[in-house]
Amino acid sequence: MTEPFGERVVWQPAKPRFRPARLVVAALTSALAVLAAAALLPGVRVEGLWGALLVAAVVAVLNAVLPPLLAALRLPFTVVFGFLAVLLTNAGMLWAASDLLEPRFAVDSFWWALVAALVVAAVSLVLDVIVGANDDDAYTLRVTQRIARRSGERVESDVPGILFLEIDGLALPVLRRAMRDGSAPNMARWVAAGDYLLVEWETDLSSQTGASQAGILLGSNEDIPAFRWVEKETGTLMTCSAPADCAEIERRRATGVGLLANGGASRGNLLSGEADQTILTVSRMEAEKKANPGYRAFFANGFNVTRTLVLFTWEVILELAAAARQRRRDVRPRGHRGGIYPLMRGALCVVVRDLIVYGVLTDMMKGRPAVYATFSSYDEVAHHSGLERADTLEALRKLDEQIGRIDRARRYAPRPYELVVLSDHGQTQGATFLQRNGFSLADLVDRSVGRADVHGIAGGDEQQAIVGLAIDEASGASHAKKRAKNDVSGRRVVVLGSGNLGLVYFPEDPRRLAQEEIDERYPELLPALRSHPHVGWVLVRSRRDGPVVLGPRGVRHLETGRLEGEDPLAAFGPRAAQHLLRTDGFAHAPDVLVGSFYDPALDEGCAFEELISFHGGLGGPQTRAFVLHPVTLPAPAEPLVGAAAVHGLLAGWRAALENGGPAASPESRATVLHE
């Protein structure tokens, strides 16, 4: 890349090279895939290699014409209808080839053509891996460049743009070990060459994507106490994955300083960062019901759909095999891996990932000034498989491969780009609260408040909620039904889980109850919580002493720092009290905030949800996120604490690149944003 803060040079984008040898190899592998389909499927017949080569040639010509035409159509629900349209077109191309080439090639029906298209894609993938001659990136870039030019949005400039690629849930210690052990070879190579620096940042108490992305993308995550919280004044349960709630979160915090304001693009995020262009962004989920040209590059190559479906199926098979292997070996802790989770893993590890990659490539070829994309596959697999299990690290390796692909594409863009990789939080591992005790946190609260009307919500990880709700929105599922589920008015007690953070609300009272009131009404509750061996601390607000943290053998007064007995926050880091004091000041802080235990010797805690690797609270690597940035961008002068500080750093880099000057101080910018 060019030196961003020195004398600016004229940017000359490279052109994707046309390699005839690779074209020949690709034709041969396609022909072999057709032969394999004919051998495997009774409804498909082909006469030898020459017949298969003719089929491959006809399909290649049709693929160059038909899918781009389909991709140019402005279809509502673009992802759903785009996949169906291109999949049927792929089958139609084989069906047409059968009519053109009979008797050398014959397909008995359209449905055999559909199955044959999937088989051809699967065999082609295997052969591409064996011969190592796949030239798909060059073809993809040529198609993407052509779409960018014809869209009229292409910006050619010498002013550098910036790409922010987020790996959801990846902790700094895990990344370092992955780089050392070969699970992140591209990122390891950048650091080893001296081109990149790895910087740690510490998350806020709500160490989860909703709070982190609000801070990173919008500059503030004030009053987001957890992944889920109750707003007593309306009797509403807010969730950081519900499209309507994400839109409201963004509306409250959008002040014009969004990281992606003024021409940026959001890909695969919870919040848009005030971007002009979005795909798979939950706060803008309404846009997914309309025609979205952001997917055009993906659907312009007809092979993408069949390849994605094949890889999706393979990912589901890998998950089923990995789950069976864990059960056979009795691996502990072991998460829930049944139900729809295998399909969720396939969707996030393949379909969503590929759509986002193509979105980023399109943004680059159009010359957009800033792009922020989130890749959630590592986070999803870690929740259920474990922090550093084999299939979790394989998900990370595949992400590193896609990041390398985006890196290589920069040289073909109409402007220079800097590339930054970061995470929004990490994860900590351990058997869940329910697995350890046979009952949930809601059950414990229920026993302690006299079997009152206790409503507990602690199921499912954020990605499952995101995809499920996205499907509901895209399919027009009842909005009224969803909001009724979020209505907690009239409930006596609501218990929420957010990783290893538990929240207890008494919705009947419009204000937050004081410790003395809780002790008077429910005298067994706080003693039961603070004495439980898998609870590390309990935060309440006292009328007399202000916010206090209760532990099994001590009390910490947050405002004065006074300590009685043993410090309940001793195992949770030097800034644990600072984080808790900040959360205590939120308007929608719970009546009782509960943190699980954390054992530094075993590096484990326990979630109040059924996730064996978790995040949301304090303790362990869940709060140790990272920023991997080029040495050409100035490193922060002070430790980065909180997502708003990361926003200051990233926004300062973007401003400096656009203005050609040194980056603004991220510390001073974060201070201004908090004021």
SS (H, E, C) 48-64: HHHHHHHHHHHHHHHHH
Closest by Cα among 441, 416, 236, 431 to 336: 431
Q: For 83-95, what is the mean pLDDT?
A: 90
Q: Which two tokens stand for residue 150?
A: 């014809």
Q: Which two tokens stand for residue 372?
A: 């922020």
> Would the pLDDT of 202 be above 70?
yes
Q: Is residue 470 part of a domain?
A: no
Q: Which two tokens stand for residue 154?
A: 């292409």
Query: Which residues, at least 6 apart from 90, have a Cβ–Cβ distance to it below 8 Å?
Result: 114, 117, 302, 303, 305, 306
Q: What is the CATH number of the domain that holds 305?
A: 3.40.720
- The whole-number pLDDT of residue 102 equals 86
Q: Where a domain ends, among 134, 150, 171?
A: 134
Quickly state the pLDDT bin for 673 (edges 50, 70, 90).
Answer: very low
> Would the pLDDT of 4 be above 80?
no
Q: Decide: 543 and 516 in contact? Cβ < 8 Å.
A: yes
Rounded to the nearest 10 degrees, the angle between the axes of helix 390-409 and helix 353-366 is 20
Query: Coil, strand or helix: which one is 627?
Result: strand
Please give the DSSP secondary-structure letter assigned to residue 286.
G
Please give the DSSP secondary-structure letter assigned to residue 108.
S
Closest by Cα among 586, 620, 579 to 600: 620
CA 202 to chain centre: 19
> Would the pLDDT of 476 be above 80?
no
Quickly state the pLDDT bin for 473 (edges 50, 70, 90).
Answer: very low
Q: For 29-33, what is the mean pLDDT?
A: 90
Type of residue found at 115: V
CA 9 to chain centre: 35
How many CB atoms neighbour CB 589 within 10 A? 22
Task: Answer yes or no: do 25 and 127 share one domain.
Answer: yes
Q: Is residue 237 part of a domain?
A: yes
Q: Where a domain ends, among 73, 99, 134?
A: 134
The mean pLDDT of the chain is: 89
Q: Which two tokens stand for residue 204?
A: 């806020």
Q: What is the DSSP pairing of strand 563-565 with strand 554-557?
A: antiparallel
Distance CA 19, CA 318 (A): 34
Q: Residues 398-452: pLDDT tens digits?
A: 999 999 999 999 999 999 999 999 999 999 999 999 999 999 999 999 999 987 6
Distance CA 179, CA 189 (A): 8
Task: Answer yes or no: do 180 and 92 share one domain.
Answer: no
Q: Which two tokens stand for residue 439?
A: 């009952």
Task: For residue 13, say if its preceding peptide bond is cis, omega within 30 degrees of 0.
Answer: no
Q: Decide: 663 and 648 in contact? Cβ < 8 Å.
A: no
Give the predicted TM-score (pTM) of the model: 0.91
Q: Is residue 456 part of a domain?
A: no
Task: Answer yes or no: do 78 and 165 share one domain.
Answer: no
Task: Answer yes or no: do 129 and 206 share one domain.
Answer: no
The secondary structure element, H or E, covering residue 147 is helix 136-151
Quickly state the pLDDT bin for 82 (edges 50, 70, 90).
Answer: confident
Q: Is residue 112 part of a domain?
A: yes
Q: Which two tokens stand for residue 506?
A: 């008494």
Task: Answer yes or no: do 126 and 170 share one domain.
Answer: no
Task: Answer yes or no: do 341 and 421 share one domain.
Answer: yes
Q: Is residue 381 part of a domain?
A: yes
Q: Which two tokens stand for residue 336?
A: 């829930």
- Sign of the CA dihedral running 114, 116, 122, 127: negative
CA 616, 619, 624: angle at the middle one, nearest 5?
75
Task: Answer yes or no: do 47 and 96 share one domain.
Answer: yes
CA 560, 574, 382: angle at the middle one, nearest 5?
130
Residues in the chain: 675
Q: Is residue 59 part of a domain?
A: yes
Task: Answer yes or no: do 191 and 333 share one domain.
Answer: yes
Q: Residues 317-365: pLDDT tens digits?
A: 999 999 999 999 999 999 888 889 999 999 999 999 999 999 999 999 9
Phi, psi dihedrals of residue 514, rounded to the nearest 5°:
-80, 160
Residue 41: domain span? 20-134
Q: Decide: 503 and 225 in contact? Cβ < 8 Å.
A: yes
Q: Which residue has the higher pLDDT, 492 or 138?
A: 492
Query: Coil, strand or helix: which one is 209?
Result: helix
Closest by Cα among 638, 643, 642 to 667: 638
Where b means 16+ CB within 10 Å and e means fewer, 289-327 reads eeebbbbbbbbbbbbbbbbbbbbbeebbebbeebbeebe
- The whole-number pLDDT of residue 151 equals 79
Task: Answer yes or no: do 99 and 166 share one domain.
Answer: no
What is the tally of structural domains in the chain? 2
Task: Answer yes or no: do 94 and 210 share one domain.
Answer: no
Where b means 16+ CB within 10 Å and e means fewer, 40-77 reads ebeebbbeeeebbbbbbebbbebbeebbbebbeeebeb
> Would the pLDDT of 462 be above 60?
no
Phi, psi dihedrals of residue 372, rounded to the nearest 5°:
-125, 120
Q: Which residue has the higher pLDDT, 464 or 108?
A: 108
Distance CA 56, CA 54 (A): 5
CA 301, 133, 91: angle at the middle one, nearest 5?
35
Q: For 583-608, what is the mean pLDDT?
A: 97
Quickly state the pLDDT bin for 571 (edges 50, 70, 90).
Answer: very high
Distance CA 504, CA 508 (A): 12
Distance CA 569, CA 566 (A): 9
> Would the pLDDT of 672 be above 50?
no
Q: Is residue 526 part of a domain?
A: no
- The whole-number pLDDT of residue 663 equals 42
- The whole-number pLDDT of residue 11 equals 86
- The whole-number pLDDT of residue 459 equals 61
Q: Where a domain ends, among 92, 116, 134?
A: 134
Task: Answer yes or no: do 251 and 363 share one domain.
Answer: yes
Task: Answer yes or no: do 169 and 78 share one domain.
Answer: no
Q: Is residue 657 part of a domain?
A: yes
> Would the pLDDT of 643 be above 50?
yes
Task: For residue 225, say if its preceding peptide bond is cis, omega within 30 degrees of 0.
Answer: no
Percentage above 90 pLDDT, the chain: 70
> Would the pLDDT of 2 be above 90?
no
